Structure 1
Amino acid sequence: MRNMKRIALLVLIVVFTSACATMNGGTGSNLDRIAESGVLRVGTAANMPPLNMLDKSDLPMGLDVDLASYIAGAMGVELSLVIKPFAELLPALEAGEVDMVISGLTITPKRNMKVAFAGPYHISGKALLTKFESLVTSENTDKLNSEAFAYTALESSTSADLVKTLMPKARLVTASNYDEAVEMVLSNKVDALVADYHVCVLSLLQHPNEGLVSLITPFTYEPLGIALPAGDAQMINWMDNFLNTMRESDELVKMKVKWIEDPSWLTNLK
């Protein structure tokens, strides 16, 4: 049955991409340049497990990486992962240094003013990672908004925006990556990390004896999307149709089980 589903997916992708290739002739879309170059450049941070990270051989892996591989395969081109700090990814897309960004990006109105989004391909949410159980058991964010607290969040992230908006009295210390942010919590430099829920859960698994606690459920709704160049209707249409194909074939579900529910990949994490 699994083989039949994979065959059906391949057939859908072949039919879908063939139709798009026919429609794309002469449009001047970025799809033309990608097809001509034979390379799809995807920007990612490679430090946001389980979405994107490096394995012990310094090779990117994760849900975002698998998704990028499927996209390149459907386009019939090679995949080139361009690793940059999270804060530099969208500027790289706007500058034409990458063709798209797949890196745990939340779809927000502010970001959507500058770039286009396809998706969401995954739903996440914000949570707290801390050593203080009283923080994660607070019934609302009002108690978290205090000058007595210091939080860390990824630079230029929606987590940092959340702290500035909901906890303006608190001190915010931004980090360039999650390893740095978690270390701030472990070394008591800050009271808590505000991050995507799956990042907090992963940190609990990685540091089981450090006294860390987190929320049982995320306290915000975060739709993650694929960032694309603004104004390229053909490419946006291609990506929306591709994601629909992935959903209907259950391939997205399988990816999420592999990277979010099954922790076996942790043994290969750098």
Structure 2
Amino acid sequence: MKAGFRAVVVALGFLAAGLLSSVEARADKLADILSKGVVRITVFADVPPFGMMNANRELEGFDIDMAKLVAKALGVKLELLPVPAASRIPFLLTDKSDMNIAAMSITAERARQIMYSAPYADTSLAVYGAKGLALKSAADIGRNRVAVAKGTTEDLVLTALAPGADIMRTEDNATAVQAYLSGHAQLLAANSVVVVELAKKNPAKEFDFKFALRRAPAHVTVRLGEHTLLRWLDTLIFQSTLNGDLDELHKKWLGGPMQPLPAL
């Protein structure tokens, strides 16, 4: 064997060993969760009925119960991490959380960084305002300001539909709602289920449906490449659909039984 060829073979051997070591060093996320005995899940704390603080300053809501379901099925402790919408993906990418359960719907752009489970809840996104405002589509927004939480699907869809609109992007959902309630914005882009809760708590404010943005099933999300954890989540969602657990959560938090959801 010539010296030059031998050197190449040795170098390739070291490279292969290094790659193998790197793969072994990066533990599978599901195995990592089970080993540590804790699952870290990002959730909302300001988006009722998915996640909010109750009178005792405790987190509750559909997604909170979903997170508890995940932790129970894994047999580990649950660490809830309340975050604004824009922080959900960064927390996954920087390994500050293991998964996100905060009413996240699918976009092709997000799918370049994260992976989506099968849907576990079905909702829709729309724009709302006072009854006196005559709007039927994004083209009718005109000079009306629209409040929306930065980084949400409603923000992305609304921006694509009305790039020239006066969109007030806030740091979180609560601030967007407050901007609409206070009159700093004439319109609110939000989840249909969230608006139902807002209307109940703010009877003096009108939340009249103006136009739809898109249907928006909610999915659990994990970091790109965590296929084993994603497969486990899909299995849990399938099982929870069959045994009625998800139906009970829909009745408890969304006001009705679970409807058939589209396949991913």
TM-score normalised according to structure 1 size: 0.81
Residue 247 of structure 1 aligns with an amino acid whose one-letter code is T
Percent same amino acid among aligned pairs?
23
Q: Give the match for residue 6 of structure 2.
A: none
The 8 Å contact of residues 128 and 210 in structure 2, kept in 1 or not, is answered as: no
Q: Secondary structure at the match of 1:215?
A: strand
Q: Give the match for residue 198 of structure 1.
A: 193
Cα distance change, pair 173–192 in 1 and its aligned pair in 2 (3 A) = same
Give, in whole Å, the separation in 2 of the partners of 1:156 and 1:205.
Answer: 26
Count of aligned residue pairs for this structure pair: 232
* Structure 1 unmatched ranges of 5 or more: 1-26, 263-270
Give, in whole Å, the separation in 2 of the partners of 1:219 and 1:162.
Answer: 7
Q: Give the match for residue 176 of structure 2.
A: 181
* Structure 2 unmatched ranges of 5 or more: 1-25, 257-264
Give, in whole Å, the separation in 1 of the partners of 2:55 and 2:67.
Answer: 20
Residue 101 of structure 1 aligns with an amino acid whose one-letter code is N
The 8 Å contact of residues 68 and 78 in structure 2, kept in 1 or not, is answered as: yes
TM-score normalised according to structure 2 size: 0.82
Give, in whole Å, the separation in 1 of the partners of 2:138 and 2:236.
Answer: 38
Q: CA RMSD in A?
A: 1.9
Residue 248 of structure 2 aligns with an amino acid whose one-letter code is K
Q: How does 1:72-221 map to 2 (within 5 A)?
A: 72-135=71-134, 138-144=135-141, 146=142, 148-210=143-205, 212-215=206-209, 218-221=212-215
Alpha-carbon offset, residue 56 of structure 1:
1.2
Q: Give the match for residue 242 of structure 2.
A: 248
Q: Does 1:234 align with 2:228?
A: yes
Q: Secondary structure at the match of 1:109?
A: coil
Q: Secondary structure at the match of 1:231?
A: coil
Who wins on radius of gyration, i.e. which is larger?
Answer: 2
Cα deviation, 1:153-184, whole Å, max 9, x if unaligned, reads 01111111122111222201112223222221
Q: Give the match for residue 64 of structure 1.
A: 63
Residue 70 of structure 1 aligns with an amino acid whose one-letter code is L
Give, in whole Å, the separation in 2 of the partners of 1:38 and 1:166.
Answer: 44
Alpha-carbon offset, residue 37 of structure 1:
0.8
Q: Secondary structure at the match of 1:65?
A: helix
Within the candidate set 242, 247, 251, 1:257 is matched to 251
Farther-moved stretch of structure 1 (162-171 vs 58-67): 162-171
Give, in whole Å, the separation in 1 of the partners of 2:155 and 2:209.
Answer: 18
Give, in whole Å, the separation in 2 of the partners of 1:244 and 1:42.
Answer: 20
